[in-house]
Amino acid sequence: MSDDTQLVSKVLVLDGNESYFDRIKIFCDNNNLVGVRALEANVLAVLKSNVDLGAILLSEDYGGKAHGGVALARQINRARPELPIFLRREQAANLDGLSEKDRKIFCVAYTIDSIADLRKVLDEYIFSLVYPNVMVRGIKEITQSALEGLFKDANIETEAPYIVRDRIIYGEVFSLIPLESNWCRGYMMLQSGGADILRIAQSGTQQAKLTSADFRSINHVLGEATNLIWGAFKNRYFSDDDRSGIFKTQVPIIINHQHRYISFGSENPQLCFKYTLSDKQDSTKNPAIIFQRFVFNLNWSPEDFKEVQASLEELVDSGELELF
Amino acid sequence: MAQILVVDDSSTVRNEVCDFLKKNGLTVIEAVDGKDGLVKLKGDPSVKLVVSDVNMPNMDGLTMVEKIRSELGNSTVNIIMLTTESSPSMKDRGKAAGIKGWIVKPFKGDAVLGSFKKLVGL
């Protein structure tokens, strides 16, 4: 796997013992985790914002109190029940001594000396879906190309793709489009701050330059970006055979506007990409951020994944006319 | 009186394609989906070329093409699909309905302008 497609996941590290941070960092570095920290007073605020978390590493004595971590875990669980919490204890790597109700909040307990054993639960709780490298790399290429085509006067940077479990909606505008084949079924979302996209689209001479500056124009630009990426994804990964005979189950998609939360009825971790669009002409302007998420909640059979070789070989370059 | 009908539900694409064609001296009308495309084509028999998306609400582009040939009885207007799709089965359906060509988005005007001009008789 090349570095640029190595999937990682961010974990929030809430540990009261600073002397353990080096060992926790080594564990994170060795297991494709990116540890982020938050001030104690800001923990719940951080959880309500979009930080794309995969899990939380929490110490039982967090906040300097014997069971301060457990009390905080109850609050975290109320705010973000989708996030797995791994509890670090001083004496034993088990949940003995906690009430039955509190035990349910934690996925697993560990001690600093047994932290390596967390490797097994990472696969269960964070990296439970296998995303083929060639697909991850391809998504990045497809999306970068689509955004470059739409925003010609923007520099576009892509961070390393990562796995998230949170369900928080980023920004003010998002698109949602189904992906349907015999080997996967789910959705792709693009999420962005409306004002940022508007600012980037209004500058320069790019293709997506807006003729009017209202929210409908932003919708159209994000919609066309979604369409270009969706089409390229299908052309590259879904053959005609893959699209036939799809069993059309569906589950409700729940959107909670108050909490900026969207649920696809599945606890599966989501594949996430972050793109940063900045103005080539004026680097002082705030960049626009686009988050792209893949949620294969209805079917995920990566063992059947393949690129469409025939299409690759016969592909006519985009933008060129294939005459019949 | 227009030479080209551009059918796409995305105003971003319609603006881009129409602006390019107008800048290059072609007259253009727009439609927002397949249903609208049928109405616009029926109302302007001078159209020589239809450039249409495939995936659109209300009526998709391939259904519109089939209805142009069957319901409107227009067997002469040239039709090119401009779409993100490139599946062989979709192309076959388009060919069966008599489309002239297929362009995979994004639109690159300079690459197709010569062909468009030929198809409108310039």
Contact flag B111-A223 (C-beta cutoff 8 Å)? no
Asked whether residue A319 carries a pLDDT value surpassing 90, the answer given is no
- Residues A213, A106 within the same domain: no
Domain limit, last residue, from A125, A160, A179:
A125
Helix (H, G, I), strand (E, B) or coil at A226: helix
Asked whether residue A245 carries a pLDDT value surpassing 80, the answer given is no
Asked whether residue A208 carries a pLDDT value surpassing 80, the answer given is no
In a domain, A255, yes or no: yes
Range of the domain at A22: 9-125
Asked whether residue B52 carries a pLDDT value surpassing 50, the answer given is yes
- Residues A138, A121 within the same domain: no
Asked whether residue A257 carries a pLDDT value surpassing 80, the answer given is no
Specify the number of domains making up chain A: 2
Specify the pLDDT at position A248: 59
CA dihedral of A73, A74, A76, A78, whole degrees rounded to 10: 160
In a domain, A274, yes or no: yes
CA A320 to chain centre: 34
Q: Are A199 and A209 in contact (CB under 8 A)?
A: no
User: Given the DSSP bridges, would you call strands A173-180 and A184-192 parallel, antiparallel or unpaired?
Assistant: antiparallel
Through-space distance between the first and last CA atoms of chain A, rounded to whole angstroms = 40
- Residues A173, A276 within the same domain: yes
Quote the minimal CA–CA distance from A297 to chain B in Å: 23
Domain limit, last residue, from A107, A125, A143:
A125
- Residues A119, A188 within the same domain: no
CA–CA dist B66, B102 (Å, integer): 15
Specify the pLDDT at position A1: 39
Contact flag B106-A220 (C-beta cutoff 8 Å)? no
Specify the pLDDT at position A258: 72
Q: Mean pLDDT across the stretch B11-19?
A: 91
- Residues A155, A101 within the same domain: no
Which chain B residues are closer than 8 Å to A315 by Cβ?
86
Residue A190 structure tokens: 């693009």
CA–CA dist A184, A295 (Å, integer): 10
Interface A-B, measured as beta-carbon pairs within 8 A, has a size of 92
The predicted-structure confidence for B69-118, as pLDDT tens digits, reads as follows: 999 999 999 999 999 988 888 899 999 999 999 999 989 999 999 999 99
Asked whether residue A51 carries a pLDDT value surpassing 90, the answer given is no
Confidence of residue B2 (pLDDT cuts 50, 70, 90): confident
CA nearest to A319, candidates A146, A191, A171, A70 = A146
Please give the mean pLDDT across all residues of chain A.
Answer: 84
- Residues A88, A142 within the same domain: no
**A53 has a chain B CB within 8 A of its CB:** no
ipTM: 0.78
Confidence of residue A197 (pLDDT cuts 50, 70, 90): confident
- Residues A77, A186 within the same domain: no
CA–CA dist A83, A142 (Å, integer): 30
Specify the pLDDT at position A2: 44
pTM: 0.78
Contact flag B87-A211 (C-beta cutoff 8 Å)? no
Domain limit, last residue, from A125, A156, A183:
A125
Specify the pLDDT at position B56: 85
CA nearest to B1, candidates B44, B40, B38 = B44
- For the ranges A91-100, A169-178, B3-12, the lowest mean pLDDT is seen at A169-178
In a domain, A1, yes or no: no
The predicted-structure confidence for A120-179, as pLDDT tens digits, reads as follows: 899 888 888 888 888 998 999 999 999 988 888 889 998 889 998 888 888 888 889 999
The predicted-structure confidence for A297-307, as pLDDT tens digits, reads as follows: 888 888 888 88
CA A270 to chain centre: 5
Q: Which residues pair with B5 in a beta bridge?
A: B29, B50
- Residues A144, A41 within the same domain: no
Asked whether residue A218 carries a pLDDT value surpassing 90, the answer given is no
The predicted-structure confidence for A16-32, as pLDDT tens digits, reads as follows: 898 999 999 999 999 99
- Which residues have a Cβ under 8 Å from the Cβ of A167 and sit 6 or more positions away? A82, A261, A262, A263
In 10 A of CB A29, how many CB atoms? 11
**A213 has a chain B CB within 8 A of its CB:** no
Specify the pLDDT at position B44: 94
Q: Which of the residues A179, A224, A243, A316 would you substitute to probe the B interface, choosing the one with the greatest number of B C-beta atoms within 10 Å?
A: A224
